[in-house]
Amino acid sequence: MAEPILARIFDDMDDLYEWSDLVENAAIRQGSLQQLAQAAANTAVILLLPATEVLLIELNLPISSHRQLKKALPYALEDYLANDVEAYHWVWSKQPGDKIAVAAIAHQKLASWLQCFSEAGIKLQGVYAETLFVPVHENTVSILLDKNRAIVRFSPWHGGGIDRDFLPAFIENTLAEHTKIQLWHSQPCADLNWPKQLTVNCIAIDSALSQLRPDKKNELNLLAGIYSPDQPGKVRWKTWLPAATLMLLAALMQYGAALTSYRHSQTQLAELENSNRQLFRQTFPQIKRIVNIKAQAEQELLVLRKHRGNNGSIYLRLLYQSAQILSQDALLQLQALDFVGGVLSLHLTGVGIAQIENFKQLMEKNPGVKVNIQSAETGNNGLSAHIDISEQAS
């Protein structure tokens, strides 16, 4: 297989990449991910990730055991990470003098990029922070200006990305021990006001990628651990973990909402059944044992029809008409009823006078029905009203 291609993400928002061969004065090309895939059809790719997305730090951990280092690193990294340690993938390399070089990136970001390259059919040989490919010199800050961002490397294992406009202030506040700046720029940078004590050497270049070249060791390759090429199954698992977590959370929320709705419906059904039982007992007090409200009510009404006179017909009509309206308002309850001299008297309780007025209006829509509100009193327990209902002579 041919020598690998060096590629970097030129503009993530526009799906724009740039790449070149790893030889002197190689041509630099730009294009989409699909165009990069065509160029890398017969070779592998070394991918450089934006400096702003990868944290590079150097820790001082006087621990010699490899196993103990793996246990201690998560705690040592906590103060440097914006989110929980579990949200990041990191690789490390032990350096002389108890120094530990670390590169860390969010799982979500790395998995997303790896998935895109996998779907495009691109074989990755390595994935690094582009900061590590900027040339570095002792006591010198190396800066690569690219569009509106700057890649800063001020030691072999320390650097990152920053907005171009904040660069001079950043240099002055954080890099006081350095006296020189090596600056490569592809656009004019005369407007940048550097600290006076620094010596700045500026070199104009055509492309940032022309200055990005790997070191001999190529340490801190992010294609390690669960993202190692020889563990594709684990890569897929980690890639889909955030989506699977969201799906599980959504399912649990939906189940909780359904359970709450079911319990609410059961409560309403129990209240309605209890209301129906009370109305049945008040209407037919002679029935002591209720088995089937509908069947028993129909049986009693049949008996009444057999013995009805004129008053019996009025009673049944008014009772049926009022029961229809009461069944539509669960908050309007029948407490007692009486029928004397062709007048059906009801004792109702509710929450407001508007309920009683609505009941009256609905009842009087029946031909010949007249409703008189005898009393309506509001107390601590709500409204109590007595109503007389009769049929006007035609």
pLDDT tens-digit readout, 319-330: 888 888 888 888
Q: How confident is the model at residue 159 (pLDDT cuts 50, 70, 90)?
A: confident
Give the Cα separation of 51 and 149 in Å (integer): 9
| Domain 1-130+217-230 in CATH 2.40.10.120 | no
Q: Nearest Cα to 186, choosing from 71, 381, 18?
A: 18
Q: In sequence order, what E strands does the chain have?
A: 5-11, 16-21, 29-31, 45-49, 55-60, 88-95, 99-106, 124-129, 140-146, 149-155, 158-163, 180-185, 199-204, 333-340, 343-350, 369-379, 382-391
Confidence tier at 282 by pLDDT (50, 70, 90): low
Q: Which residue carries 């509908």 as its tokens?
A: 294
pLDDT confidence band for 293 (50 / 70 / 90): low
DSSP state of 54: S
Q: Do 209 and 19 contact (CB within 8 A), yes or no?
A: yes
Determine the Cα–Cα distance for residues 57 and 19; give it in Å rounded to an integer. Answer: 27
pLDDT bin (cut points 50, 70, 90) of residue 303 is low
Intrachain domains 135-211 and 264-391 with the same fold: no
Q: Does the structure show a pLDDT above 60 at 306? A: no
Asked whether the beta carbons of 91 and 224 are under 8 A apart, the reply is yes
**CB of 169 within 8 A of CB of 157?**
no
> Exposed, middle or buried: residue 307 (CB in 10 Å: 0-12, 13-18, 19+)?
exposed
Report the Cα–Cα distance between both ends of the chain, in Å, rounded: 106
Confidence of residue 15 (pLDDT cuts 50, 70, 90): confident
Assess whether pLDDT exceeds 60 at residue 244: yes
Answer whether 0.75 is exceeded by the pTM: no
Secondary structure of residue 70 in the 3-state scheme: helix
pLDDT over 60 at 28, yes or no: yes
**Domain regions of the chain by residue span:** 1-130+217-230, 135-211, 264-391
Is the Cβ–Cβ distance between 182 and 194 less than 8 Å? no
Neighbour-count burial of 45, counting CB atoms closer than 10 A to its CB (0-12 exposed, 13-18 middle, 19+ buried)? buried
Q: Is the pLDDT of residue 283 over 80?
A: no
Q: What is the CATH number of domain 264-391?
A: 3.30.1360.100
Instruction: Report the alpha-carbon distance of residue 181 to residue 203 in Å, rounded.
Output: 11
Fold type of domain 135-211? Nucleotidyltransferase; domain 5 (3.30.420)
Answer whether residue 284 shows pLDDT above 70.
no
Q: Give the chain's count of helices (H) and strands (E).
A: 8, 17
Lowest mean pLDDT, pick from 8-12, 72-76, 98-102, 261-265: 261-265
3 state SS for 145-210: EECCEEEEEEECCEEEEEEHHHHHHHHHHHCCCCCEEEEEECCCCCCCCCCCCCEEEEEECCCHHH
- Distance (Å, rounded) from C-alpha 244 to C-alpha 252? 12
Distance CA 118, CA 230 (A): 14
Residue 232: band (very low, low, confident or very high) from pLDDT cuts 50, 70, 90: very low
Q: Position of tokens 């010596």?
A: 199
